[in-house]
Amino acid sequence: MARGYDETEVKFRLIKLLHSSKSGISGVEISEKLKINRVTMSKYLNKFAAEGTITQQSIGNLNLWFVDDDIEQLNFPDDYFLAQEKFASHVIDCTEKPAYNLIKNCINSKAKMDKIITEIILPTIPQVQKLFDDGKIGKSEEQLMTGIISNSVQMITHHSSHSESGKNIIILSADSESSLISESAGAAFRSQNWNVFSIGDMSSSIDVLFDLELRKLLSKTWKSKEGVMIILVFSQTEEGLKFISDSFYSVKEKSENNLFIVLSGKTGKKVKIKGDLSSPKLEDILQWSNTKYENL
């Protein structure tokens, strides 16, 4: 964009200006009020419109710009908790547009993409699950809510930048209950430039041939064996984690020093499950994975 202007500041001032008018403001007037030349302002308006932050309407001979009431600028890191409360409320109320607008606001306010996942979206998943387990919502409501969460995760995925060839991760879930968490993890890793292979729910494929499937998967996703390859497994049961862990170590070759497995889920003291890292916190998994890559 044009030199001499901070895009975040321009967007903040523009949203504030458009909020002050319910009847819309022309591009010429916006340019004059924000003291930005018309050509540069026009580029900003088109960019923000493409993002969905503002909209344009033709009224008579005028092209006027508007902003939805739900569009606002947030201040991070201070507003992560506030944003999480709002997002959970929108999801539980099954109000899609405000939920998506909130995520859009977070992105436009320059919140860290991985933090939007870990601080705002992920905490909402167990809240929905508890409502369902307690019988306060039915299956159709649960599916609608999880659909809103999934679409919100995809918004983060679409804003991810390029991936680095040496940062490779396969993400899967050993049960359907962990699918949404694994999907969220994929978006968080993509936001940190990881080359993500998101497999989803593999519970139907957990059988005696899984070892072979895992070796084939590795041969396709990590052909050059460059950098690191991490297999991240989510499961609500120890059995799921143990099965995939055992399969992993049965196919891992001695020369594959940069191949790791990370387990995230319920693990107890009775069942010993081997892994390079076991943690229920995605933040810790992200940090550990990046450290492994940096220490190559």
Q: Which helix (H) or strand (E) holds 61?
A: none
Residue 4 pLDDT = 64
Residue 1 pLDDT = 44
Residue 33 pLDDT = 94
Residue 3 pLDDT = 53
CA angle 178, 78, 179 (to 5 degrees): 5
Domain parsing of the chain, residue ranges? 7-66, 80-158, 167-294
- Please write the tens of the pLDDT for every residue from 61-110: 888 999 987 788 788 999 999 999 999 999 999 999 999 999 988 988 88
SS3 at position 59: strand
Q: Which CATH superfamily is domain 80-158 in?
A: Methionine synthase domain (1.10.1240.10)
CATH number of 167-294: 3.40.50.280
DSSP 8-state code for residue 162: P
Structure tokens at 11: 């967007």
Residue 108 neighbours by CB under 8 Å, 6+ apart: 11, 51, 53, 71, 73
Q: Which helix (H) or strand (E) holds 270?
A: none
Could you check whether the bond before residue 77 is cis, i.e. omega within 30 degrees of 0? yes
What phi and psi, each to the nearest 5 degrees, are found at residue 197?
A: -115, 100
- Alpha-helical runs (H) found in the chain: 7-19, 27-34, 38-51, 80-92, 96-108, 113-115, 124-133, 139-158, 179-191, 210-221, 238-251, 282-294
Fold exhibited by the domain 7-66: Arc Repressor Mutant, subunit A (1.10.10)
Rounded Cα distance, 277 and 264, in Å: 8
DSSP 8-state code for residue 117: I
Pairing of strands 259-265, 195-201: unpaired
- Residue 17, Cβ density class (10 Å: 0-12 exposed, 13-18 middle, ≥19 buried): middle
Query: In which residue ranges of the chain is pLDDT below 70?
Result: 1-4, 208, 268-269
What phi and psi, each to the nearest 5 degrees, are found at residue 146?
A: -65, -30
